[in-house]
Structure formats: structure tokens, C-alpha cells
Amino acid sequence: MSDIEHFEYVFLGGGKGGKTLAIELATAGKSVALIEKGMIGGSCINVACIPSKTLIQSARTAHAAKSAAPASFKPDMRAAYDRIRTVVSEMVDINMKSFIASGFDLILGTGRFTAPRTITVELNDGGTRTVEGTHVFINTGTRASIPGIPGLRASEPLTHVEALETTETPEELIVIGGGYIGLEMAQAFHRLGSKVTVLQETPHVANREDVDVSEAIETAFREDGITIRTGVKAVEVQGRSGSYVSVSLSDETNVTGTHILVAAGRTPLTSDLGLDLAGVNVDERGIIEVDERLATSAANTWAIGEVAGTPMFTHASYDDYRVLKSQLSGGGRTTRDRLIPYAMFIEPELGRIGLNEKDARERGIAVRVAKLPMTAVPRARTNGAMRGFMKVVVDAHSDQILGFTMLGTNAGEVVTAVQMAMIARLPYTAVRDSIIAHPLISEGLNLLLLKVPGKAA
């Protein structure tokens, strides 16, 4: 047992919530070890949020250039790739400097539990280390799922990871999955010169949203030249991505292309962690079971981020850090009743917080709904970005805002304004009657909230 190194805090995985807490504890003088396979800073910086939004910005620039001079437009995927690598490497460097400055022990390798709060690490440069912690935090995240469609895995499909590494524009790209990752990637590659087809099994893309939102996204994509096939399931894939692929569909048609990209959900990275030896329970999906304090079934063992079932957003993982910081210091912060916004970086942009009409109906909550087209917002007209709308959900018997959805330019920023009102529990009338600078996109909130129907009797 003498070869086991002891730390007060051990982190398995270096995603947003975990790395933030590790840095803070180490800076405060605690003994901390962070085990990471190699993605310094976590998946957000390396293969998810940051590179994908960098790609989307390059695609947006290309789209503007094509709109201004269509005859001379020539997409440059290599330039987009180079920009991604520059942005990612800069942020990785910032994170590494923070790690070093904090003084925690960064262990690069693959960790697996061998006993409660004890992890053996196969080091990237050879050899092993075994560490134990008074407190242990599991922060391993998720990976892209590959559905069990015959021939799909053999076709060597792209996931978002490989798509962000490509230096050549796919000629004809088939995207399996019309969720948020699939839609962002579809529009970006279309703007960079790909012919794109999106396949979605449900009746609409973005199926967590209200039908009017999903239909507006579908309309915008189709107007831009992207093919959307909904209500169809891929049943077989033939060929190899990068040269030729053919996808047979449930309606007995087929789609062909040069590349295939899978964006059909996420799988938690828990199967090879030895969680049974750690005494940590998982559910049928492999997600670690936690309570509202993020505590697992094992003593002094916690889970953070997507692997704990936290909504799959970096900002949600960061709030897990706040919860755990509070718990370690005897505070009472939990994950209960969190208000988590999100955005999808397509054009028109989607922003959402709280309930939508579908949620309210499923929960049996009586609501008032108001909707405003972006054509009514002066700044949207000046920007030439009039697609989409704002929609608010207000309690039927009080003036509390229960949710807000916006499909339109700068939607994510406008959502933040509504979020502040919801946190403060302001009545919708306070926002309706506030003085918002003209002409801002958020000025549309004044106009939208004027349309809220009167209270139910």
C-alpha cells in the first residue's frame, strides 16, 4: 500500500466544472491531483464549443462573402481549419498556464478505479501511478454515440470531433440527427460549400422545441438550400465516408453523398472506469446516479457535468462547480430548480430559457403566450435579419415569466436579459415597461410583452 499517493482531492477528468474547482482548491493550498487523458481544458475547448463556434464564425464570414460577390466566391476549408487550430491552441495554452500556476498535480493518462476513492492511472508516457483522495470527483464527460444502424460504424462516419479536423470541404454531406449539434454542423458546412442533407427520425428537427420553432428552423434551412428529411429513419448504410456513402431510409428511399456525419446523441464515459469497484451506481444509460448535491452512492465521491446527467452545456457544468464548492464548505447550494439557458448557433439563432408551450402543456400549467415576429423589431430590419420570432410564456394567474424562446438574430444575448428578470422574479410588466435603448434587438421585448393576454379569471 506504500505506493499509493494520497491527496485531499482527486479529479478524474478535467472538464469545466472539475478543472475550475481543482484550480481553486489547489490555489488555496490543498493537495489536489487531476487525471486527464490529454485534452487540456476539457472537451469544450478542444473538440466541442470553442472549435465548433469558430467553424460557425468562419462559415458566417464565408456566407457574407458569397452574398456580396457570388460569382467570385470560393470556400476555403483549410483556412477555417487553421483558424480553429489557432483558437484552440491559444485556449489550451491559457488553461495549461492556469493548471501550472495553481500547483495541482496534473497526471496525464487513463484512470480506472481499483477501490473506493482509489484510482490507478496508465500514464501516457508509460508506467502507472495509483492515487487516492479524501474526496474524489468524476468528471469524464460523454462521447458522440454511433447508433447501431447496419453498416454505419463500418462506414467510418464523422462525428463532430472528426468534422472539426477536416481540411477539405465535403462535397455531399449527410447528417444523421437534426438536434443542436447536427443543425449547427449542417449549416456551417453548407456555407463552406457542401451540399447537405439532414436526416431526422422525429417529425421535426430540434424536437425539444415547440413545433412553430422547429418548423421555422426547417423553413430557414430549406430556403438556404439545405435538404431536411424528417420522419425518416436510417436503416442501412453502405460505402465509406470520404468517398461514397448510401443511406437507405425507412420510407424505402435512399440518400447518397461523399461523407456522413453522425450527431445522434451522447454516451457517458463510464463503462471502463471500474465504478463497481468504487461503489458508484449508474443508471441504465450509464449516467452516474447523483443526488441534488452531486453526491454519488459512494462516500465522499462526487460526479460533475454530463456524466452526472447535468444538461450538456459548459455553463451547466460550471454551475456544478458552484454546487460542489458550496457543499465542501458546508453551504446549501444544490442543483434543485436551476434555471439553465441555452443557445443554438445557427442563423437565425435559437435562444431558450425556462418553459415553452410544450413543457407547460405536459406539466398541466396554465399559461398565457405572446409571440412577436422579428419583422416587427426595428434593429432586425436594419440588420437585414428578419427571420424568426420571440415568444414568451407567462403564468395564467400571475405575472411571472415562466419561459422565453427566441429564434432570431442575437437570440442568445436577448435570452440573458429575460433570465435576469426571471431570477429576480420580476413580473413581465416590469420588463414590458422598462426603457430599452433604441434600436437594439432586445427592444423587441417591449413590443412582445405588450401582446401578453390578460390574466385568466
Q: What is the pLDDT of residues 280-309, one digit of tens each?
A: 999 999 999 999 999 999 999 999 999 999
Neighbours of 161 (CB within 10 A): 14
Tell me how far apart the alpha carbons of residues 303 and 18 are, in angstroms, rounded to a whole number.
9
Supply the CATH classification number for the domain 342-450: 3.30.390.30
What is the widest separation between alpha-carbon atoms in the chain?
A: 73
Q: Which residues pair with 407 in a beta bridge?
A: 350, 389
63-67, 102-106, 144-148, 434-438: least confident range: 63-67
- Is residue 51 very low, low, confident or very high in pLDDT (cuts 50, 70, 90)? very high
Q: What is the pLDDT of residue 419?
A: 98
Q: What is the pLDDT of residue 1?
A: 43
Mean pLDDT computed over 164-181: 97
Tell me how far apart the alpha carbons of residues 300 and 117 are, in angstroms, rounded to a whole number.
8
Neighbours of 69 (CB within 10 A): 9
Q: How many helices (H) and strands (E) does the chain have?
A: 14, 20
Tell me how far apart the alpha carbons of residues 331 and 344 are, in angstroms, rounded to a whole number.
33
Asked whether the predicted pLDDT for residue 72 surpasses 90, the reply is: no
Terminal Cα distance for the chain, rounded: 71
Helix (H, G, I), strand (E, B) or coil at 385: coil
Whether 190 sits among the annotated catalytic residues: the reply is no
Mean pLDDT computed over 248-274: 97
User: pTM (2 decimals)?
Assistant: 0.96
Q: Which residues pair with 227 in a beta bridge?
A: 197
Averaged confidence pLDDT in the chain: 97
Domain residue ranges of the chain, discontinuous segments joined by +: 4-144+267-328, 153-264, 342-450
Residues sharing a CB contact under 8 Å with residue 236, sequence separation 6 or more, in sequence order = 149, 150, 151, 247, 248
For the stretch 176-202, pLDDT in tens is 999 999 999 999 999 999 999 999 999
Is there a common fold for 4-144+267-328 and 342-450? no
Q: What is the pLDDT of residue 456?
A: 74
382, exposed or middle or buried, with CB in 10 Å at 0-12, 13-18, 19+? exposed
Looking at CATH, the fold of the domain delimited by 153-264 is given as FAD/NAD(P)-binding domain (3.50.50)
Mean pLDDT computed over 102-125: 98
Sign of CA dihedral 68, 69, 70, 73: negative
Supply the CATH classification number for the domain 4-144+267-328: 3.50.50.60
Mean pLDDT computed over 382-397: 97
DSSP 25-51: HHHTT--EEEEESS-TT-HHHHHSHHH
Name the active-site residue from 63, 190, 259, 438.
Answer: 438
Asked whether the predicted pLDDT for residue 2 surpasses 60, the reply is: no
| Contact assessment for residue 243 and residue 257, using Cβ atoms and an 8 Å cutoff | no
Q: How does strand 128-138 pair with strand 244-249?
A: unpaired
